[in-house]
Amino acid sequence: MFQMEHSTNFRAGIRVVGVGGCGGNAVNTMIEEGLEGVEFWVVNTDQQALDLSKAQEKVRIGETITKGLGAGGDPEIGRRAAEEDVEKLRRAVEGVEMIFITAGMGGGTGTGASPVIAKLAKEKGVLTVGVVTKPFTFEGKRRMRNADLGIRELKKYVDTLLVIPNDKLLTQKNILLFQALAKTSNDVLVKAVKGISDLVIKPGFVNRDFADLRAVMAKKGKAIMGIGTGKGENAAIEAAQAAINSPFLEDVSIGDAQSVLVNITVNPENFYIEDFHEAMNLIQEHVSENTEIFMGVVFEPIDEVRITLIATGIPDEYGGIKDFELEEEPVFRKETRFQVDLETPAFMRRQFD
């Protein structure tokens, strides 16, 4: 059962740490879209990428290893760079209640450094949520393998891990150009963070507090996300149906979840309680009777209804990596920084690193 209750708009300290090229791009998009009440940091081995960042705090790692030129798509270099500057990274996890670590898995810095940062956050007792992407299949087997290894390593330290497979973007309509595809990948990361943080930051009919977020996310492991929008007379039902059937759910049912966080974002001038009840009843039909639902309604001046579902405590395949042979092998392949992944074009390595 879900509860309709008003809670105080508790402003927990929330920080987003974008790691590597993809994480940095996502942070820039969050800032451009005016994500409220969140502090932004970026971490990179690439000085040029840091110069282009709009974040309040920028941390360059691995100066002696990379000379500010990036990790060359090698996660081992990304890991070593983070460990070289671990004292700098401690600052990135101090003084907050909750941290989102966002990155693209499969490249160098994001894949290698994110687990190091997550480990530091775990040591501080900070609620830590990983929001990461998996590469497109066309980016090559090595990059996908590195992504799976990086996800396995990151999962050891985060409370909740939300993995967005980029291949799912190929099912979306009206995405023809690669530039649009890359932007959409960033947008999904943004929506995931916004869907969670808005519930404790923005005013609404039903707000949640930090204790609710901790209940949904602390030590919950794998998470999945559904996003839906609707317009017109049946907007709420349409949005709920779209969220439940979202391609980002990775063929996994929200009925498998221990907890579900529901963000319903609406225009207060068009908010009808009957629509709200119908949408929530539909969502309840798709979860088990043991699933705990935390719902919040956020007000924005928009002409649609947006519903974001974050389902946590999902059975996870990353206890072991399927389809790859891992015997007697380090977590990341040790290569020199000049041995870049030539299966992936340079402009894509930079975008999704």
Average pLDDT over residues 310-337: 54
The confidence score (pLDDT) of residue 324 equals 32
Above 70 in pLDDT, residue 334? no
For residues 17 and 92, is the Cβ–Cβ distance under 8 A?
A: yes
Whether 328 shows a pLDDT value over 60: the answer reads no
pLDDT band for position 344 (cuts 50, 70, 90):
low
Other Cβ atoms within 10 Å of 264 Cβ, number? 26
pTM: 0.85
Report whether pLDDT(133) > 90. Answer: yes
With a cut of 60, say whether residue 179 has pLDDT above it: yes
Encode pLDDT of 263-306 as tens digits: 999 999 888 888 889 999 999 999 999 999 999 999 999 999 99
Residue 350: pLDDT above 80? no
315 φ, ψ (degrees, to nearest 5):
-55, 135
3 state SS for 62-115? CHHHHCCECCCCCHHHHHHHHHHCHHHHHHCCCCCCEEEEEEECCCCHHHHHHH
**pLDDT class of 172 with cuts at 50, 70, 90:** low
Q: Where in the chain is the domain with CATH 3.40.50.1440?
A: 14-197+323-352
Residue range 63-87: mean pLDDT, rounded = 96
pLDDT at residue 8 is higher than 60: no
**Euclidean distance between CA atoms 325 and 215, whole angstroms:** 36
pLDDT band at 176, cuts 50/70/90? low
Copy the structure tokens of residue 154. 């990151």
Q: Where in the chain is the domain with CATH 3.30.1330.20?
A: 224-314
User: What are the tokens at 172?
Assistant: 């979306």
**224-314, what's its fold?**
60s Ribosomal Protein L30; Chain: A; (3.30.1330)
Q: What is the pLDDT of residue 319?
A: 45
Q: Write down the CATH number for the domain with range 14-197+323-352.
A: 3.40.50.1440
User: pLDDT value at position 200?
Assistant: 87
